[in-house]
Amino acid sequence: MEFSRRETLAMGLGAAVMTVLPFRVSAAADDKIAEFTGGADMADGGITLTAPEIAENGNTVPIEVSAPGATAIMILATGNPTPGVATFNFGPLAASQAASTRIRLAGTQDVVAIAKMADGSFAKASSTVKVTIGGCGG
């Protein structure tokens, strides 16, 4: 479907977001996780992922991760064509094992953060971020 610039601007309820269904976890995301963890189990606690429930702007979504005692934290946008977002590594002198960044989301999907702990164990947190056309509120 093609929109001229003029028509796109005149569009009623928002930008030309053309997807209906939430994006599924791509195989590439599973591959990334396997590569990072070597297939090890991931605990549910020990890592905090803070993300908005609904993105104000899918092109720049602020997120924060924190995992005390982690040596590395990997962030994935599991529904993006290229799911890898960032991996933060923390040296022994790091004051805290936390990071914040902004990510681009192609559509509604789960954002996943996985921490590698100093003892070699892994912890995972996940948050669904909705990307919507918007309008009609209130």
45 counts as binding other proteins under rule CB under 8 A = no
Euclidean distance between CA atoms 138 and 134, whole angstroms = 11
106 counts as binding other proteins under rule CB under 8 A = no
At 14, give phi and psi (nearest 5°): 150, -175
CB of 56 to other proteins, least distance (A): 4
57 counts as binding other proteins under rule CB under 8 A = yes
Binding residue for other proteins, selected from 14, 30, 35, 68, defined by CB under 8 A: 14
Euclidean distance between CA atoms 51 and 128, whole angstroms = 8
Binding residue for other proteins, selected from 30, 31, 35, 56, defined by CB under 8 A: 56
Euclidean distance between CA atoms 77 and 9, whole angstroms = 28
12 counts as binding other proteins under rule CB under 8 A = yes
**Only segment of 39-47, 51-59, 81-89, 111-119 that touches other proteins (CB under 8 A):** 51-59
Specify whether the CB–CB gap between 92 and 23 falls below 8 A: no
- Type of residue found at 133: I
SS3 30: helix
The residues that touch other proteins, with contacts defined as CB under 8 A, are 1, 7, 9-22, 50, 52-57, 62, 100, 108, 128, 130, 132-138
